[in-house]
Structure 1
Amino acid sequence: MTEQVSSHAVVGRSVGDLGRRITQRRTELGLTRQETAARAGVAPAYLQYLEEQPTASPGAGTLLRLAEALKTTVWHLTGGDTELPPGLGRAARTPRFTELTDAECRALLSTHGVGRLAVPTAPGPVVVPVNYSVIDGELVFRAAPGTTPSQAAGHQVAFEVDRIDEAFSEGWSVLVRGRARAVTDPDEARRLAERAYSTPWAGGRRDLWLRIESAAVTGRRITV
């Protein structure tokens, strides 16, 4: 991997972004800190410092080696692509497109994340991002009454989750289709709140829980 490192990419990042991005990327690849350090040619203790010290500022050479070891770009590690839409890279020469099985789709949905909810509204379909959880095999999310996500209750909806690897121009997507139902039992709503991984990133009170009764779960993957 060859890449030029601009001063903006190194200096312009938010404090602490580098460590979080390094940790997230090596976790995605299933690498330990020791394995990553060996690949990048740095001491494990120094990599720990980079991951845990918000003010750490490695040189351009170290950033390049880390990006190479983590199969990504310096631009991504330093947060330069934060304000850009995903998928800006060119397609690979020989991409392979495959359909995912139901089991693979549900494994990729995992236990929680952020997905895109397609809601039918009076002016037309609207797509909004929401934090979701998968609890006892059911996809659930919460909303504030009167908001766009809350309008999904009682309607057929689509819910999409995806992941893109910018460095390799590959990724996957999972689509869930079914009817959204509001959770009206207070005990059930309380149980979901207790088991949810996170409150919504948007903050505020969102006490209305909805579940999607999945009629169809499909997915696809692009690899190189």
Structure 2
Amino acid sequence: MNTADDRHDPHATSDLGRRVAARRAQLGLSWEDVAERAGSTPGFIAYVEERVPTPGIEFLVRLANALETTVQDLTGSTADLAPGGARAGYRARMEDIGEAECWELLDGHGVGRVAVEGRDGLMVIPVNYQVVDREIVFMTAADSSLARTAASGAEVAFEEDRLDEAFSQGWSVLLVGPARTVSDETSVRRIKDAVHSEPWAGDGRDTVVTLSPRRVTGRRIQVPGAPGTPPGPADQGRPLRDL
């Protein structure tokens, strides 16, 4: 668990440090947890995140393993590549995710994709989203395809996912339901107060749109023996080196 000593100058944080901190937060790990996994100390993990060091490749490999990712991902060399380029995992299996866990995976806010009917047909748009009272909230421009769709009360589909390239596994959550534009000032103020961050695309996106899902589903791909996944039935009793 991090303490008040976490204070640091955000302008001193390197790209590597930001990626390490983001991945650690995604896994729900403390500096102590990562240090134990990487054979290091909590203070040095904090230093990596905050003070622009240049760790050696040996430590970077240990750190990447501790964070269940790759050196390439931590250093940003794969940032512009389309996700999902890794080979399929050995004996991968797919399972459904229950509605309650789907909401947990959405984690309150993030970036997903919304599918709407635009002027030129169906289109999929990346969007920042916020979960407020079991609805998905978007901030968009008044003349956007999403705003026009919401004004008509038409249905939209929203999808969010996470991929673990290192182990070829991940999950996807899909919500389908009518969208609407929120115009009541009290409701708009309440929603905006709950919004975690402004849209990445910039200013001018002040129209509040909500999706009230009538269907919430999810799927997960798991690879036996990968971090967080128990071995499959055929792997029980096999030495770890053979998995």
Query: Could you say whether these structures have the same fold, taking a TM-score greater than 0.5 normalized by the shorter chain as the test?
Result: yes
- Which moved further from structure 2: 147-156 or 177-186? 147-156
Match of 1:219 in 2: 218
Q: Does 1:160 align with 2:159?
A: yes
Match of 2:128 in 1: 131
1:49–1:56 contact (8 Å) kept in structure 2: yes
Cα distance, 1:22 vs structure 2? 1.2
Aligned pairs for 1:92-131 within 5 A: 92-131=89-128
**Structure-1 separation of matches of 2:182 and 2:218:** 27
Match of 2:139 in 1: 142
Match of 1:67 in 2: 64
Residue deviations 1:122-144, cap 9 Å, x none?
A: 31101001111111111111111
What is the TM-score when the length of structure 2 is the normalising length? Answer: 0.82
**Structure-1 separation of matches of 2:211 and 2:36:** 44
- Which moved further from structure 2: 17-26 or 158-167? 17-26
What is the TM-score when the length of structure 1 is the normalising length? Answer: 0.89
Q: Which letter does structure 2 place at the counterpart of 1:171?
A: G
1:45–1:132 distance in 2 versus 1, CA, 3 Å:
same
Cα distance, 1:30 vs structure 2? 2.7
Of the three residues 34, 37, 55, the one matched with 1:58 is 55
1:130–1:200 contact (8 Å) kept in structure 2: yes
Give aligned pairs, total: 209
Q: Which letter does structure 1 place at the counterpart of 2:28?
A: G
Of the three residues 29, 32, 48, the one matched with 1:31 is 29
Cα distance, 1:59 vs structure 2? 1.1
State the Cα RMSD in Å: 1.3
1:119–1:151 contact (8 Å) kept in structure 2: no
**Structure-2 separation of matches of 1:193 and 1:62:** 42
**Structure-2 separation of matches of 1:178 and 1:63:** 44
Q: State percent identity of aligned pairs.
A: 48
**Structure-1 separation of matches of 2:176 and 2:36:** 44
**Structure-2 separation of matches of 1:31 and 1:105:** 21
Unpaired segments ≥5 residues, structure 2: 1-12, 224-243
Q: Secondary structure at the match of 2:111?
A: strand
Unpaired segments ≥5 residues, structure 1: 1-14
Q: Secondary structure at the match of 1:221?
A: strand
1:18–1:79 contact (8 Å) kept in structure 2: yes
